[in-house]
Amino acid sequence: MPAAGPPDQAPVWSADHLRLHRQLRRQPNLLPAGAPLLLSVSGGQDSMAMTGLLADLRRLHGWSLTLWHGDHGWRPESGRQARELAAWAAGEGLALVLERAQPAPASEDQARQWRYRRLAELAALRGMGHVVTGHTASDRAETVLLNLARGSHRRGLASLRPSRPLHNDPGGSPQLVRPLLHFCRDDTARICLSRGLPVWLDSSNDDRRYGRNRLRAEVLPVLEALYPGAQRRMSLQAERLAQEDEQQQQLVALALEALALGAMDQRALDQRGPRAAALDRRRLGRLAEANQRALVQHWLRQQGPGELTATALETLLAGLAPEQAPGQMTLAAGWCLGWDRFTLHLIPPAKASP
């Protein structure tokens, strides 16, 4: 049976409801009023707290809610827990779509890809623009620590943003929204208890072979004991880094406009062969190396090939030094970069081979 709170249900409105309500009023595009929402519900305390809060707030925001639960088939009890979750949702008058992975995913990464693929397909089928998950400040703090230990780029330390496209086609992708990033795991436990919400425990969360579980059980409690509120502050730091990254990307985009070739230069370049895009090599070379890195990576993301590895980027910048001769670099998926004395140009896959 699921773990549950007290039988006497607490009042529907609480400080937690007010907190989330005010946050969503400040960020109206996060979960727009009247939008149909697809909630990814595992049955754990975070997703159940999210479901309870959004179900209570929907009368103020006009949402319609559909729940989705994915059974990976990893645990003997997972099928029974999925049926109990479906019965609870029916009792609450909430629509729930239940799916079981066939075959069972072989890893956490494959399981996440399966969940997000099925959520994207269901959202597209039903015309839903927002898929909602119960990630909290605790999840974001764990991600920050894991990425920091791996030597992640600054962007990795800004992970778990409040909203992002669910897949790589931003124009045709529903938004993946995480409205509980200002709540910690202690908050979601309290919400479930006070609201009498059932919680289905996942035994795999206790398996210390998984790095995140070990971090959760052994590292975060020590940090919280030393610096109470550490999880919340790490989450807020990740949010600040995300905002700074967004600011930097906008400035980089403006700087790229200054490096783009003028119309006459571009026509002269096109006479020598089609190019997807080109930058002024001389002006790029006069910038500090850190700015060159940021501009080239943003340009490649913008144009299609995607970022270079750190080693490839350093090789490219060395080749672009003023004293270096013209050259070419092969990229992934058939793309190529070429440079002469005046330009750095991108050669699309169809034109990359002679």
Q: Which domains are assigned to the chain?
A: 15-246 (3.40.50.620), 260-352 (3.30.465.60)
Band (pLDDT 50/70/90 cuts) for residue 71 is: very high
Give residues with Cβ within 8 angstroms of 174, minimum separation 6: 38, 119, 120, 123, 124, 128, 129, 130, 131, 165, 166
Instruction: Name the β-bridge partners of 278.
Output: 345
82-86, 204-208, 290-294: range with lowest mean pLDDT: 204-208
- Predicted pLDDT of residue 107: 87
- Predicted pLDDT of residue 7: 41
Indicate whether 142 pLDDT > 50.
yes
- Predicted pLDDT of residue 281: 94
Per DSSP, the three-state class of 169 is: coil
- Predicted pLDDT of residue 275: 54
| C-alpha span between 56 and 45 (Å, rounded) | 16
Indicate whether 261 pLDDT > 80.
no
Band (pLDDT 50/70/90 cuts) for residue 18 is: very high
Kindly report, residue by residue over 270-288, the tens digit of the pLDDT: 555 545 689 999 999 999 9
| C-alpha span between 132 and 123 (Å, rounded) | 11
| C-alpha span between 348 and 310 (Å, rounded) | 22
Which 8-state DSSP code applies to residue 3? B
- The values of phi and psi at residue 98, to 5°, are -110, 125
| C-alpha span between 279 and 260 (Å, rounded) | 5
| C-alpha span between 224 and 30 (Å, rounded) | 29
Answer whether 78's CB lies under 8 Å from 72's CB. yes
